[in-house]
Structure 1
Amino acid sequence: MSDIERHGTTARYADAVIHNGVIHLVEVPASSDGDIRQQTQEVLDSLARQLDALGSDRSRILMATLYLTDLADCDGMNAVWEAWLPPGCAPSRACVQVAGLVDPGWRIEIALTAARS
C-alpha cells in the first residue's frame, strides 16, 4: 500500500501529488493569450480550486517556485500574487527566468507545496 496519493494522473504527470500531508502542485495558464497579469490570475485561480478540493487553502502554502519567460513581467506578476495571498501568509518563494515553457504563449508556470488542513 502506497502512502502517496496521486490525483488526475496521466502517463506524463499528475495534477496533484500528496505525501505526508504535503500537497505538490504545478499549474500553467488556461490559455496562451493575455498579458502576465491575466495569465498569473488564471494560474492562481486554478491553484486555489485545487487546494480547496484537496483540503487546503492559500494560507497553507509552504513553498512556491514561479517560472517566468521574461523578468520584465515581475512587477505585473507580483501585483496579482500579492493581492491573491492572505495577509501574513506569504510562503517561501523563488522566482526564476526560463528560456521558454511548453506553450510558447505561456509567460508563467507555478509549482508549489502546501500543507493539507
Structure 2
Amino acid sequence: MSIRRIEVGPRMSQAVIHGNTVYLAGQVGTPGKSVTEQTKDVLASVERLLKEAGSDKSKILQAIIWMADMKDFAEMNAVWDAWVDPANTPARATGEAKLATPDYLVEIIITAAI
C-alpha cells in the first residue's frame, strides 16, 4: 500500500495518506491571536489539507485537541461547534498541555477517511 505525504518538511509532513486514511500533523493558528482566532486558523488549515488529500470535514474520524489552558475550552468549542459537520461528528478528546510556545493556545490533530 502506498504512502503519500503533503507539505513535506525536514521535521514532519503536514499530512500523510496511507490507504484510505489521512493523518494530519497538529495544526496551530497564528501565535498571539485569541483562542477564537487561533481555532478558526486551525480549522481553515484542516479544511485545506483535507481537501488536498481528497477528503473533507464530514469524513473526520477522530480529533485530538490540545489547549494551553482549559479555561478557554468554551471559547474553542464555540468555534468548533459552528464548524463541525453536525451530521458527522468525530470521536474527540480535549486536554490541556504545554504547546510549542506560550503563544499557541490550541492545537488540533485530525485523522480522516478519504
TM-score, normalised to structure 2, is 0.94
Instruction: Give 2:107's aligned amino acid.
Output: E
Partner of 1:41, secondary structure, is helix
CA distance in 1, matches of 2:7, 2:44: 17
Tell me the equivalent position of 1:23. Answer: 22
| Shift of residue 54, structure 1, vs aligned partner | 1.3
Write the deviation string for residues 60-80 of structure 1: whole angstroms up to 9, x where unpaired: 000010000100010000110
How many residues in Structure 1 have an aligned counterpart in Structure 2? 113
TM-score, normalised to structure 1, is 0.92
CA distance in 2, matches of 1:18, 1:103: 28
Instruction: Give 2:28's aligned amino acid.
Output: V
Partner of 2:13, secondary structure, is coil
Unmatched runs of 5 consecutive residues or more in structure 2: none
Tell me the equivalent position of 1:81. Answer: 80
Which 4+ runs in 1 deviate beyond 3 A? none
* RMSD (CA atoms): 1.0
Instruction: Give 2:89's aligned amino acid.
Output: A
CA distance in 1, matches of 2:33, 2:5: 31
Instruction: Give 1:115's aligned amino acid.
Output: A
Tell me the equivalent position of 2:66. Answer: 67
| Shift of residue 9, structure 1, vs aligned partner | 1.2
Tell me the equivalent position of 1:92. Answer: 91
Q: Which has the higher strand share?
A: 2
CA distance in 1, matches of 2:35, 2:50: 22
Instruction: Give 2:75's aligned amino acid.
Output: G
Unmatched runs of 5 consecutive residues or more in structure 1: none
1:109 aligns with 2:110: no
